[in-house]
Amino acid sequence: MSTPEMSAETKSEPCRCLCAKNMYGTSVRFSETWPPGTHESTSYWCLLTQGPAGPDEHYVHLTRCVPGRACYNAL
């Protein structure tokens, strides 16, 4: 089964359960203000599973935890 995925140029609200750790903080909510390429070196985890995969057993990422994914929760 495939998961929805967006290009880096597409903007969408990330899932409220997506967490990130990078030098700009732990919130992906304001990710549009991160410098270009930052999302590629960021560590992500799901608040529901406390791991690198969501409840649907697919990896979490800023470009993958978007509307259309089965476990997506809007902000």
pLDDT band at 8 (very low <50, low <70, confident <90, very high): very low
User: How high is the pLDDT of residue 49?
Assistant: 96
Q: Which residues contact 34 (CB under 8 A, 6 or more apart)?
A: 22, 24
Q: Give how far Cα 72 sits from Cα of 6, 17, 23, 27, 69, Å.
A: 14, 8, 25, 16, 5
Render the burial of 12-39: b for 16+ CB within 10 Å, e for the rest.
Answer: eebbebbbbebeeeeebeebeebeeeeb
Residue pLDDT, tens place only, 15-46: 999 988 766 665 666 667 666 666 677 888 99
Rounded CA-CA distance 37/9 in Å is 11
